[in-house]
Amino acid sequence: MNQIEELKRKNRRNTAVIAFLVIAMAVLAIGCLFVGSADMSVSDALKALFGGGSDAQSRIIWRIRIPRVLAAIIAGAGLSVAGLVMQTTLNNAMASPSTLGVSNAAVFGANLSIIVFAGGFLTTGNNLKSFDVGANPYATSVLAFGFSVASVLLILGLCTVRSFSPNVVVLAGMAISSVWTAATTVLQFFATDVGLSAAVVWSFGDLGRASYEKDGIMFAVVLAGTVFFMLMAWKYNALLSGEATAKTMGVHVEGLRFVSLLLASLITAVCVSFLGVIGFVGIICPHVTKKLLGQDHRVTIPVSCLMGSLLLLLADTLSRSLGSGTALPVGAITSLLGAPFFIAIIFGRKGNHGSC
């Protein structure tokens, strides 16, 4: 009876946490619609939201703020669940979507698109008109995504040939990441002022680039990956007991690790290629989730998604509130929020390694 009561208590707690997060996310998402650099009152925003107001106000709400809110919800969920899965499959509490160099490869691809093909030393030089024509946001996103996927496949391929152990994956990721960083530095060294400025600005996480089309693509990838992770939840739980134990339970550990890391990296690649680098979401949210609710992936996967969405919504609200007439990079806000919070988690563990 004690075990049954304990199970009921956990279920009630999990239900309460999920309900709270859903309500908090909904409230914050609605609040985000009324925050921005445009001189628009809450009443004007409400009118525009329900079909009234001026054309300019309607465009701000429906073409800028709503896609931005949706991007925060989708990308936050994707980066968070990707971090959770990477931490489990690599058995590394510090693993995150940047572990396999996905973000570094995306930055290089974007720099290549912006500097070389739009604002760089091979074609347009300092011609601002040509730069505006060449710096197509989808072209930049496609090249950033392409290099991210190539980097992931290269790392996973090397690990398959050598040894697909967590340590090998992490070391290979670090090595490839340094290559992308060095290549980006070389590109930026030869860039013109125009190309360099545009490339640096792109690397900032910015939800202002969101559109319904981009949100739709991100949503499809994040949803597919999350559904797969939920279906594999019991295998992730088995993996927590060690590879040997998981194998005795019928889990193909190497195959699970390969597919999981590939999907988590693809989710990250899509989000980064559209929005730029947004750090710490994939580290902080999974840690907070596991600290609150334990390690059961049947619960931590959906809760991590909610946590990620909530964090990115909060960061976006702060970025638009703190900037005088403009929005600060949301990636900087997540780092400012995440770094001290992460340090507090580390020093607040009191030797309890199981929570992380």
More confident: 77 or 120: 77
Band (pLDDT 50/70/90 cuts) for residue 134 is: very low
Provide, rounded to the nearest whole percent, the portion of the chain with pLDDT above 90: 46
pTM of the model: 0.88
The candidate with the shortest Cα–Cα distance to 79, out of 266, 204, 213, 206, is 266
If you average pLDDT over each of 20-29, 85-94, 287-296, which comes out highest? 20-29
The predicted-structure confidence for 36-52, as pLDDT tens digits, reads as follows 767 777 888 888 888 77
pLDDT given at position 96: 83
CA–CA separation, 332 and 279 (whole Å): 8
The closest of 316, 356, 307, 338 to 98, measured between CA atoms, is 338
Q: How many CB atoms lie within 10 A of CB 2?
A: 6
Q: What is the pLDDT of residue 121?
A: 40
Question: Helices marked H in the chain — which ranges?
Answer: 2-32, 42-49, 55-59, 66-89, 102-111, 128-134, 137-162, 166-190, 193-203, 212-231, 233-239, 243-248, 253-275, 281-293, 297-322, 330-347
pLDDT digits (tens, 9 = 90+) for 285-340: 998 899 889 899 999 999 999 999 999 999 998 888 876 657 788 888 888 877 77
Is the model more confident about 105 or about 39? 105
Nearest CA to 266 among 165, 148, 127?
Answer: 148
User: Domain 65-348 belongs to what topology?
Assistant: ABC transporter involved in vitamin B12 uptake, BtuC (1.10.3470)
List CB contacts of 275: < 8 A, sequence separation 6 or more.
Answer: 71, 75, 205, 206, 207, 209, 210
Report domain extents, the chain. 65-348
Residue 126, exposed/middle/buried by CB under 10 A (0-12, 13-18, 19+)?
exposed
**Alpha carbons 15 and 21: distance in angstroms, whole number:** 10
pLDDT bin (cut points 50, 70, 90) of residue 354 is very low
How high is the pLDDT of residue 129? 47
What are 192's two structure tokens?
């013109």
CB 115 within 8 A of CB 196: yes
Tokens 């995150």 found at: 96
Cβ neighbors of 123 (< 8 A, separation 6 or more) are: 116, 117, 130, 134
Closest by CA position to 25, among listed 62, 61, 73: 73
